[in-house]
Amino acid sequence: MESTLPKLHHHSLVKLTLLIFTVLHYQLPPVTTSPLPKEALPTRSGYLKVNSSTGSSIFYTYYEAQKPIFPLSQTPILIWLQGGPGCSSMLGNFYELGPWRVSSNVTVEPNPGPWNRVFGVLFIDNPIGVGFSIASSVEEIPRNQHDIAKHLFIAIKKFISLDGSYKTRPVYVTGESYAGKYVPGFGYYALKRNARLPVDSRINLQGVAIGNGLTDPITQVGTHALNAYYSGLVNDKQRKVLEDLQKEAIGLTQRANWSEATNARNKVLNKLQNMTGLATLYDFRRLIPYQDDLVAEFLKNAEVRKQLGVKDNAVFQVCSDVVGTALHEDVMKSVKYMVEYLVKNTKVLLYQGHCDLRDGVVSTEAWVKKMKWERIGEFLEAERKVWKVNNELAGYVQKLGSLSHVIVLGAGHLVPTDQAVNSQAMIEDWVLEKGLFSNDGQKDRMVIDL
């Protein structure tokens, strides 16, 4: 008997230990990990209310300058607006020019050419209803550039009020694609609004930059056929088919039949896509389209959303169909007159990736030639200079006075994605008026580690 008792006691202890381990294992909370490391967190993020009665708010993320070269009170702030219409600036943040970019395995890695190296960068989900921004109702989503700019002005003013040092900092508004309308729309509104405000209540707007922008659609839609033809992508018969479709879009625009004009432009682009068989018109070199779905996948992570200050019930889409529909009639409306006003009252940068077939170089040059600006003739005769970064060819710069035009080689529609370091050099030199953007226009630009 004495020999069996210890044996039974041993088995009982083993069973009890296994039972306790099993209970503890299933009661412990699951370990949650975030693919967004602490060093990748924005300086500030959250919501800026644009309508106190309805609660509609604009979502933002802000990244302070990594290595500012001025006191913070004098360090420029770049504001980034995504295109679409209806696409989230989290695409710009995590796929293009933010300090950390989403990789193919849906984690982030440092961007080799972030735009917040020497500037602060503010990413705004614009208009309300886009990305993580909140529209209280579909009806409140803006249908025109004036109302979009009005919301942006309110939101940016509220952002500036978050820190006393922001008030004196120069502001530059940048963006791409449909932001070819948002950027001049806001710039135009802000300068007009500033004129009616006391100095200490103004937004210190110093310039606007538009990348691969849709700005004067009636002119730009007429360029696709010849561009594709002389690029060797369509033959003469196909060119004529495209030209007929373009004439239809132009005619509808001239008659202010806005919805049908937008549909007609879509027909042109769809036909061009089908004729060429390209993976995407945004970059004729690509075998697969840009992978913006990586950003959507990344932002599904609950911990990432919590770290960014996203509201619990926010539903994220890279591009909102609801906002796209709301702005359907706005698509073919021109804001060229706004750019003409801005180039007379501040400085303007137009840049394009040379592989973009939608809103690329030919498309932009066509409407620039029609600008009503007393110096446009001089600008068109200005020398187009070879632009180098680190002694390597980066593209071409044409500048006269307040207007600069840059062609970025090796880039498509999303210039910072394709040419991170060169796009960083471009934006820094333009803001700081260095290199080819200075008055003496020196020939090269060396990227220096600060």
CA dist list (Å): 241 to 225, 226, 272, 273, 438 = 8, 11, 10, 13, 44
From residue 37, how far is each of 111, 129, 167, 304 by CA, in Å?
14, 28, 30, 9
Q: Which of 63, 30, 362, 384 is nearest to 220 (CA)?
A: 362
Question: b/e string for 136-158 if b means 16 or more Cβ within 10 A?
Answer: eeeebbbeebebbbbbbbbbbbb
Q: From the candidates 56, 57, 88, 177, give the one annotated as an active-site residue.
A: 177
Catalytic, out of 283, 320, 413, 423: 413
CA distances, 344 to each of 184, 337, 381, 397 (Å): 13, 11, 18, 20
Token look-up 């070199």 returns 285
Among residues 330, 356, 359, 429, the one annotated as catalytic is 356
Distance CA 184, CA 189 (A): 8
Is 203 in a helix, a strand, or coil? coil
Distance of alpha carbon 102 from alpha carbon 93, whole angstroms: 9
449 tagged catalytic:
no
Euclidean distance between CA atoms 304 and 324, whole angstroms? 26
Structure-block tokens of residue 410: 């090796």
d(CA 332, CA 343): 22
Is 56 considered catalytic here?
no
Nearest to 142 by CA among 103, 178, 169, 93: 178
Q: Is 125 a residue of the active site?
A: no
Catalytic residues: 177, 356, 413
